[in-house]
């Protein structure tokens, strides 16, 4: 008759451990892929807002013919986003675009215009403006 060894009761205990580790790695990997996809989608919406604002500013400044907001809308649609807002503020164009990213609506705004178009609005004189 054979005696049971000390390790005989632990046969097959490594299999659940390996399966658990592989499941944890798979879940962490899928989480990272989802986060990277969300970040890339949000970046895509930001780029669309920047491009639409620049295009609208080009029209507003007379460098390109047309209506600034119509051009901004065409650029937004070309980037698979929707133009949510378009307005003029001084010599700047402020454009807002929206798009779904992983089922969540992401909205980004961008401002474009010539250098110095943002006026400083304070009661005190501008010391650093020169």
Number of H helices, E strands in the chain: 2, 3
pTM exceeding 0.75 = no
Q: Where are the domains of the chain?
A: 30-112
The more confidently predicted of residues 121 and 46 is 46
pLDDT of residue 2: 61
Tell me which of 3.30.1300, 3.30.390, 1.10.287, 3.10.110 is the CATH number of domain 30-112. 3.30.1300
pLDDT, tens only, 53-86: 999 999 988 888 999 999 999 999 999 999 999 9
- Report the pLDDT value the prediction gives residue 123, as an integer from 0 to 100: 43
Residue 96 pLDDT > 70, yes or no? yes
Q: What is the pLDDT of residue 5?
A: 60
**Banded model confidence at residue 124, pLDDT cuts 50, 70, 90:** very low
CA distance 6 to 117: 81
């Amino acid at each position: 008759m054979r005696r049971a060894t000390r390790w005989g009761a632990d046969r097959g205990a490594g299999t659940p451990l390996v399966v658990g580790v592989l499941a944890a790695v798979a879940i962490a990997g899928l989480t990272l892929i989802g986060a990277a996809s969300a970040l890339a989608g949000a970046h895509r919406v930001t780029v669309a807002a920047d491009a639409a604002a620049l295009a609208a500013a080009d029209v507003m400044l007379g460098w390109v013919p047309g209506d600034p907001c119509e051009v901004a809308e065409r650029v937004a649609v070309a980037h698979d986003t929707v133009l949510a807002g378009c307005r003029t503020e001084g010599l700047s164009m402020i454009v807002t675009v929206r798009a779904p990213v992983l089922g969540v609506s992401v909205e980004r705004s961008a401002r474009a215009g010539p250098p110095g178009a943002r006026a400083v609005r304070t009661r005190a004189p501008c010391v650093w403006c020169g």
